[in-house]
């Protein structure tokens, strides 16, 4: 066992204690976590106030509306906010995007003269912040090809340009409504869509609010986490095995340990790598959930099941990768064998929308009991289901999962002990089957 | 004397190719044994079977009283295909392999620099393996094979790829290890290397043992069919002398080896040579292992096969 652990430690150190790994698997998630933490203050501090005087050449009623809008809160995002689930709408990050009063010291005045060229020169010289030309036709209700024109200095920021053009457009619309005798604010209130809450009624008399996020995004996040953690380390296992074959160091190792000890050590070492990746990306995801105040959407039982399915998924992927790595001499040769394996393992992505929509449907049930899809599909089912997946199905999937792991380890070991000493042309799938028989 | 390695009726095939056929072998403990044969003779396959890296189709293998899997920590092995972890530091690589051989602890770190000094690779322990030349990497790998002080050392072509100076260094260490009482089995297709350092040789050809014994006993077994002549006239040809099959100049000397035909006697040829031209010296040559091997191949597989082997030895 000590030799296996020696191999495992070298495998872990060789993979996880490199600059590339530290950046990809440690720094990146930390940056992601940091992003959630620092983005709110950044969003608050990066806005420069809009200061100065803007002249408007156009109808007086438009100028009046524009003057009043400058002092109002920006409601442009309000409608989008209204459509968000309540749980997200309360989030501090989303709160940072919430409409707020513009930080401005802006004066809107009627243009002192009508010569546009003189007015443009005054803007160019810095006498005014901008010039807005609102033709009378544009305020009339009939369709017109005439456009609003805004002239600003070269250094005027794009964000402030957006504010100016947006407020002017809204002011024109309000002016149109007022000319027809309507109250724009009343119309906005009347046309705002009401918020809806869907509540699921369980047989046991309890009620639970339906949450679209919980049913769609969280299952996908769990499956992605499983994928990233297992496939990244699986890929490392593949490349280190090929590297050892390429370096011709394999025979030296086999003079000291058996192929099974070597395989066991490599798989164990990469399990550590996989766990580090899982922890790092899992922490980033957790930080995201914290930020969105969604932590209570994930019950502890889901985390326990996730851990179990992670073990099953890791060993399934690791055995596939180790078998392929041992059978080929070049990374490019591995692609031909990886193809069929990837085709099968990509299925969870294809089935995700169906399964998250009908987590207890027939397709979901069958797929979640079919190796090697079990861990990926089952974690989607468990986290997407509004009702607990039947306990017998969970137990059966775990049972089949671990039995499959044993079978795959056995097959991998037989391929590994033949493959690691083979050089040259990569074997076909049929030859791999023969190796399993011979091994 | 107890046996370090014992093979009984070992056979191994790869597809239709019979790599080793019904091979019996006994290597006594404490011997320095050369395992000889041309490329493709089955030497590496046999060694891999001894090491339990691959398994024989039939027969039994006993290594140090058990099998190699159980005795791995007592065996040092330098495979034919050299390999190191390129990005690993030299000391870490040696330490790793020693760990896998069951050797741990701070004493290991202390002896690594001493051993590197011994194989004339001082101050490289903190260099990455990829920074070393191929020959230096080979010495590092040799060190990794012997650092755990094994009872049995198996070296597959230990000198191939080494320049003469480094080959001498490694040869000296091998000799020292032998003097310490370790059993050494080394394979080579360059027979004179074995002739120089082995006390016993085993020759195989096409997976079958053709010779087994001490060098002197083998040489005694073979009738010297070569007359070695140093003529006064260096440009003279001996091919026309009755009883001479062919002549071969000896490199870096003025001597010529005359191969004697089967129907002639060495004494007759010697007399004809002396009568043919003035000579500085003329004597019956001791057969080299190359010649013995070629003769064995000729006996077993015919003259064409022997010629092919001769060509291979000349090119080696």
**pLDDT in the model for residue A387:** 74
Structure tokens at A340: 């069929």
**pLDDT in the model for residue A416:** 85
- Decide if pLDDT at A47 tops 90: no
Q: What percent of chain B has pLDDT above 90?
A: 1
Asked whether residue A262 falls in the same domain as residue A294, the answer is yes
Which residue segment(s) compose the domain that A130 sits in? 49-196
Closest residue on chain B to A7 (Cα): B100
Asked whether residue B123 falls in the same domain as residue B248, the answer is no
Asked whether residue B129 falls in the same domain as residue B230, the answer is no
- Nearest CB to A3 within list B54, B82, B100: B100
Cis check for the bond before A372: say yes or no (omega within 30 of 0).
Answer: yes
Q: What percent of chain A has pLDDT above 70?
A: 85
Domain final residue, candidates B186, B212, B238 = B212
- Nearest CB to A255 within list B51, B96, B102: B51
Record: contact A251-B83, CB cut-off 8 A:
yes
Asked whether residue A379 falls in the same domain as residue A267, the answer is yes
Asked whether residue A158 falls in the same domain as residue A281, the answer is no
Asked whether residue A147 falls in the same domain as residue A87, the answer is yes
Q: A322 lies in a domain? A: yes
**pLDDT in the model for residue A39:** 66
Interface test with B, best of A1, A4, A9, A251 (most B CBs within 10 A): A251
Asked whether residue A326 falls in the same domain as residue A378, the answer is yes
Domain final residue, candidates B212, B235, B258 = B212
Domain with residue B285: its CATH number is: 3.30.70
What mean pLDDT is predicted for residues B25-50?
85
Instruction: State whether residue B231 is helix, strand or coil.
Output: strand
Which of B156-175 are b and which e, b meaning 16 or more Cβ less than 10 Å from the residue's Cβ?
Answer: bbbbbebeeebbebbbebbe
Q: A130 lies in a domain? A: yes
**pLDDT in the model for residue A398:** 93
Domain with residue A103: its CATH number is: 3.40.190
Asked whether residue B206 falls in the same domain as residue B270, the answer is no
Asked whether residue B274 falls in the same domain as residue B232, the answer is yes
**pLDDT in the model for residue A104:** 67
Average pLDDT, chain A: 81
Asked whether residue B77 falls in the same domain as residue B162, the answer is yes
Domain with residue B152: its CATH number is: 3.40.50.300
User: Of the spans A213-217, A404-408, B60-64, B238-242, which averages the highest pLDDT?
Assistant: A404-408
- Decide if pLDDT at A306 tops 80: yes
What mean pLDDT is predicted for residues A90-115?
67
Rounded distance between C-alpha atoms, residue A132 and residue A150, angstroms: 4
Domain final residue, candidates A142, A170, A196 = A196
Cβ-based contacts of B77 with chain A (< 8 Å):
252, 255
Q: CB atoms < 10 A from the CB of A273, how many?
A: 24
- A396 close to A369: Cβ distance less than 8 angstroms: yes
- Decide if pLDDT at A315 tops 90: yes
Asked whether residue B261 falls in the same domain as residue B206, the answer is no
| Residue A313 pLDDT grade (very low, low, confident, very high; cuts 50, 70, 90) | very high
Asked whether residue B171 falls in the same domain as residue B76, the answer is yes
Q: Tell me, what's the ipTM?
A: 0.72
Closest residue on chain A to B69 (Cα): A258
Asked whether residue B200 falls in the same domain as residue B292, the answer is no
CB proximity list for B212: less than 8 A, separation 6 or greater? B25, B201, B202, B203
Domain final residue, candidates B161, B177, B212 = B212
Q: A181 lies in a domain? A: yes
Q: A43 lies in a domain? A: no
What mean pLDDT is predicted for residues B201-219?
81
Asked whether residue B208 falls in the same domain as residue B242, the answer is no
Asked whether residue A88 falls in the same domain as residue A27, the answer is no
Asked whether residue B94 falls in the same domain as residue B189, the answer is yes
Q: A206 lies in a domain? A: no
Asked whether residue A244 falls in the same domain as residue A330, the answer is yes
Asked whether residue A103 falls in the same domain as residue A19, the answer is no
Record: contact A255-B85, CB cut-off 8 A:
no
Q: Smallest Cα–Cα separation from B51: which of A99, A53, A243, A250?
A: A250
Q: A408 lies in a domain? A: yes
Q: A40 lies in a domain? A: no
What is the total count of domains within chain B? 2
Domain final residue, candidates A196, A231, A247 = A196
Asked whether residue B251 falls in the same domain as residue B284, the answer is yes
User: Of the spans A53-62, A245-254, A393-402, which averages the highest pLDDT?
Assistant: A393-402
**Secondary structure, 3-state, A94-152:** HHHHCCCECCEEEEEEECCCCCHHHHHHHHHHCCCCEEEECCHHHHCCCCCCCCCEEEE
Phi, psi for residue A155 in degrees, rounded to 5: -85, 0
Interface test with B, best of A249, A254, A260, A435 (most B CBs within 10 A): A249
- Residues of B at the A interface, defined by Cβ within 8 angstroms: 48, 51-54, 69, 72-73, 75, 77, 79, 81-87, 96-97, 99-102, 141, 144-145
Which residue segment(s) compose the domain that B98 sits in? 3-212
What is the total count of domains within chain A? 2
- Decide if pLDDT at B227 tops 70: yes
Asked whether residue B156 falls in the same domain as residue B300, the answer is no
Asked whether residue A243 falls in the same domain as residue A391, the answer is yes
Asked whether residue A65 falls in the same domain as residue A160, the answer is yes
Which residues make beta-bridge pairs with B230? B281
Asked whether residue A192 falls in the same domain as residue A227, the answer is no
Average the pLDDT over each of A40-44, A177-181, A238-242, B55-59 and give the range with the smallest value.
A40-44
Interface test with B, best of A252, A265, A417, A420 (most B CBs within 10 A): A252
Domain final residue, candidates A196, A219, A238 = A196
Cβ-based contacts of A252 with chain B (< 8 Å):
77, 79, 83, 97, 141, 144-145
Q: A371 lies in a domain? A: yes
Closest residue on chain B to A262 (Cα): B100
Per-residue CA distances from A411 to A378, A400, A419 (Å): 24, 16, 12
């Amino acid at each position: 066992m000590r030799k296996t652990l020696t191999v495992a430690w070298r495998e872990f150190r060789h993979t996880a204690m490199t600059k590339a790994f530290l950046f990809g698997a440690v720094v990146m998630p930390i940056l992601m976590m940091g992003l959630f933490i620092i983005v709110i203050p950044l969003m608050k501090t990066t806005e420069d106030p809009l200061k100065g005087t803007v002249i408007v050449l156009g109808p007086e009623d438009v100028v009046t509306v524009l003057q009043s809008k400058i002092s109002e809160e920006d409601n442009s995002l309000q409608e989008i906010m209204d459509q968000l689930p309540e749980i997200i709408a309360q989030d501090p990050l989303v709160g940072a995007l919430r409409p707020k009063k513009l930080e401005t010291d802006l004066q809107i005045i009627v243009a002192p003269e009508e010569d546009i060229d003189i007015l443009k020169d005054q803007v160019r010289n810095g006498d005014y912040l901008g010039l807005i030309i609102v033709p009378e036709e544009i305020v009339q209700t009939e369709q017109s090809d005439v456009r609003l024109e805004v002239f600003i200095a070269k250094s005027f920021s794009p964000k402030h340009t957006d504010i100016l053009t947006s407020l002017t457009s809204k002011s024109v619309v309000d002016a149109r409504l007022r000319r027809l005798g309507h109250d724009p604010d009343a119309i906005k209130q009347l046309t705002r869509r009401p918020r809806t809450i869907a509540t699921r009624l369980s047989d046991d008399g309890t009620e639970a609010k339906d949450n679209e996020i919980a049913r769609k995004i969280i299952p996908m996040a769990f499956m992605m986490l499983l994928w990233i953690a297992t496939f990244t380390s699986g890929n490392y296992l593949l490349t280190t095995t090929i590297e050892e074959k390429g370096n011709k160091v394999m025979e030296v190792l086999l003079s000291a340990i058996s192929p099974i000890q070597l395989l066991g050590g490599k798989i164990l070492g990469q399990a550590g790598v996989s766990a580090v990746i899982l922890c790092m990306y899992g922490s980033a995801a957790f930080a995201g959930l914290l930020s969105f105040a969604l932590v209570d959407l994930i019950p502890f039982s889901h985390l326990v099941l996730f851990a179990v399915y992670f073990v099953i998924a890791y060993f399934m992927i690791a055995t596939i990768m180790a078998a392929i790595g041992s059978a080929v001499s070049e990374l490019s040769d591995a692609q031909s064998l990886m193809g069929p394996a990837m085709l099968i393992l990509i299925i969870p992505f294809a089935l995700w929308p169906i399964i998250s929509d009908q987590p207890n449907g027939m397709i979901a049930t069958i797929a979640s009991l079919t190796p090697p899809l079990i861990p990926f599909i089952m974690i989607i089912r468990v986290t997407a289901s509004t009702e607990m997946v039947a306990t017998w199905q969970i137990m059966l999937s775990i049972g089949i999962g671990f039995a499959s792991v044993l079978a795959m380890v056995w097959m991998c070991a037989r391929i590994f002990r033949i493959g690691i000493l083979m050089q040259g042309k990569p074997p076909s799938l049929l030859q791999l089957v023969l190796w399993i028989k011979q091994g | 004397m107890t046996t370090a390695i014992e093979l009984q009726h070992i056979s191994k095939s790869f597809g239709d190719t019979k790599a080793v056929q019904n091979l019996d072998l006994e290597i006594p403990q404490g011997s320095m044994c050369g395992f000889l044969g041309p490329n493709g003779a089955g030497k590496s396959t046999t060694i891999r079977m001894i090491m339990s890296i691959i398994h024989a189709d039939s027969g039994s293998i006993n290594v140090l009283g058990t099998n190699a899997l159980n005795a791995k920590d007592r065996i040092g092995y330098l495979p034919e295909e050299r390999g190191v972890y390129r990005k690993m530091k030299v000391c870490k690589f040696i330490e790793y392999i020693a760990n896998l051989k069951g050797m741990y602890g701070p004493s290991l770190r202390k002896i690594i620099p001493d051993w590197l000094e011994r194989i004339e690779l001082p101050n490289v322990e903190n260099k990455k393996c990829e920074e070393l030349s191929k020959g230096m990497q080979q010495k590092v790998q040799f060190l990794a094979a012997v650092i755990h002080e094994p009872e049995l050392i198996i070296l597959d072509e230990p000198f191939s790829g080494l320049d003469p100076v480094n080959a001498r260094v490694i040869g000296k260490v091998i000799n020292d290890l032998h003097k310490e009482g370790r059993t050494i089995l080394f394979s080579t297709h360059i027979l004179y290397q074995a002739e120089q350092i082995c006390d016993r040789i085993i020759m195989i050809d096409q997976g079958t043992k053709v010779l087994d014994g001490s060098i002197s006993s083998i040489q005694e077994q073979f009738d010297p069919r070569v007359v070695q002549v140093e003529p006064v006239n260096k440009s003279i040809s001996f091919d026309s002398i009755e009883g001479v099959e062919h002549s071969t100049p000896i490199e870096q000397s003025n001597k010529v080896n005359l191969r004697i035909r089967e129907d002639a006697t060495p004494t007759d040829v010697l007399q004809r040579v002396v009568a043919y031209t003035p000579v500085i010296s003329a004597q019956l040559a001791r057969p080299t292992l190359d010649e013995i091997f070629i003769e064995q191949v000729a006996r077993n597989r015919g003259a064409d096969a022997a010629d092919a082997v001769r060509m291979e030895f000349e090119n080696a």
